[in-house]
Amino acid sequence: MRFSVDVSKIQGELDAPTSKSYTHRAIAIGALSSECIVRKPLLSADTLATVAACEKLGAKIELINGDLHITGIKGKPCVPDDVIDVKNSGTTLRLMTAISSLANGATVLTGDSSIRGRPNQPLLDVLNKMSVEVFSTRNNGCAPIVVRGGLRGSAAEIDGSMSSQFISALLITCPLAAEDTILSVKGQMKSRPYVDITIEMLAEAGVKILVDENNGIRFIIPANQKYDLKEYTVPGDFSSASYLLAAAAMLGPCISVHNLFPSKQGDSEIINVLRQMGTDVHWDTEKGIVTVKRRTLKGIMFDAGATPDLVPTVAVLAAVADGVTVIGNAKHVRYKETDRLHAMALELSKMGIMVKEEPDSLTITGGKLIGAAVHGWHDHRIVMALTLAGMVAGNTTIDTAESVSISYPDFFEEMKSIGAKIEKLEG
């Protein structure tokens, strides 16, 4: 699917879509409970993959008046009758690889071509140390993955530098093991806020995780716990809202985004980023409304360690800012749906922006964006970020635009509702 984008001005009010990260976790934790209602879930390609995977593991899930009603498996997954296809969802793959280790038999997990190239070896290594037989069919750490259940807790170490999803998967699964688990993080843990979200949601389900940070980071997970998440309301998503807020900062004159309340979401950092770049931002935390007015932007230093999903948004902001922006501590951004550092460097270069790409960083010199035919890399965040660039440059076309369904299915329609000049191209 291709879209054309022209010079736009935006103004108005929108509700932020609800959070993909919280929705994934609420479905998985709800499925491990007895009965659960997930209210205001994000229904996107990724989260529906988690719904389908949980159903194959024995849960019954029904959509009633926009809410997900879950009859759970009480911590005891069934052996699936068929392969679990996670589509394009890395979160689904990691969570279900760990959860299926609780089943009394073998589970096979796979996904699309992107998923079959994403690394999982740190998670597989830990599960193998916990008496699970788990392996990649191609011996490369990527899907297809075979998991033969038998999880027992133990002391284990995991590399935290690649993806926090490995840690979240283990934190969700190991409380159901027959023995206690002590999970030590090796190296710097990237995307820490996502792990904090997981622990917060587990606590709502009555599950205890102890965090010891006296000498590195250790998670102490007592065994034989029970899940009891009865009801959960999914909050608004700062990751998706970042495109709306950035659009206002770049194009103006002003928009207000509702349903953005304080939470453990790391991507709420977009508010500080916009302020540092010189934008007029007001966040009414009690009402959950963020209002952004256009101002001249300036380059900043941005550490992507905790917030990798903001990198495409910040890269586009940097392209129109005065001066130089450095996006650093970002090597893990290369292991997302695509290599997002390389993708943004290449596509912004097509649009006339000077970008220096290094293994762990991008250095972007702001300038004048020019229209171009750009590639969306089948990556929802790349497509949405490049749409903003096209709204500044004009005369821009973006392919693989259907990928926005992964996290923000209504993105193009909602952007058009506040003034974006976007049209779907035929053929």
Residue 158 in contact with residue 184, Cβ under 8 Å?
Answer: yes
| Nearest alpha-carbon partner for 291 in 278, 279, 309 | 279
Identity (one letter) of the amino acid at 286? E
Sequence-ordered alpha helix ranges (H) in 33-89: 45-56
Q: What local confidence, expressed as pLDDT, does residue 423 receive?
A: 97
Buried b (16+ CB within 10 A) or exposed e, 200-237: ebbeebebebeeeeeeebbbebbeebebbbeebebbbb
- pLDDT tens for each residue of 305-323: 999 999 999 999 999 999 9
- Among 309, 322, 379, 399, the one annotated catalytic: 309
Residue 2 in contact with residue 244, Cβ under 8 Å?
Answer: no
Identity (one letter) of the amino acid at 177? A
- Whole-number Å distance between alpha carbons of 387 and 416: 11
| Nearest alpha-carbon partner for 390 in 374, 408, 407, 409 | 374
Cα dist from 351 to 248, 324, 355, 366, 376, whole Å: 20, 17, 11, 11, 13
Which of the two residues, 215 and 55, has the higher pLDDT score? 55
Output DSSP code: residue 387.
Answer: H
Cα dist from 38 to 46, 210, 278, whole Å: 16, 26, 38
Does the structure show a pLDDT above 90 at 201? yes
Does the structure show a pLDDT above 70 at 290? yes
Percent helix / strand / coil, the chain, rounded to 5: 35, 25, 35
pLDDT band at 153 (very low <50, low <70, confident <90, very high): very high
Identity (one letter) of the amino acid at 235? P
Q: How many CB atoms lie within 10 A of CB 286?
A: 8
Which DSSP helix (H) or strand (E) runs through 12? Answer: strand 10-15
Does the structure show a pLDDT above 90 at 426? no
Q: What local confidence, expressed as pLDDT, does residue 427 receive?
A: 65
pLDDT band at 328 (very low <50, low <70, confident <90, very high): very high
322 part of the active site:
no
Q: What local confidence, expressed as pLDDT, does residue 6 receive?
A: 98
Residue 192 in contact with residue 266, Cβ under 8 Å?
Answer: yes
Q: What is the DSSP string of 211-277?
A: EE-SSSEEEEE-SS------EEEPPB-HHHHHHHHHHHHHH-EEEEEES----S-GGGHHHHHHHHT
Does the structure show a pLDDT above 80 at 177? yes
- pLDDT tens for each residue of 355-400: 999 999 999 999 999 999 999 999 999 999 999 999 999 999 999 9
- pLDDT tens for each residue of 63-92: 999 999 999 999 999 999 999 999 999 999
Percentage of the chain modeled with pLDDT above 70: 100
Does the structure show a pLDDT above 70 at 240? yes
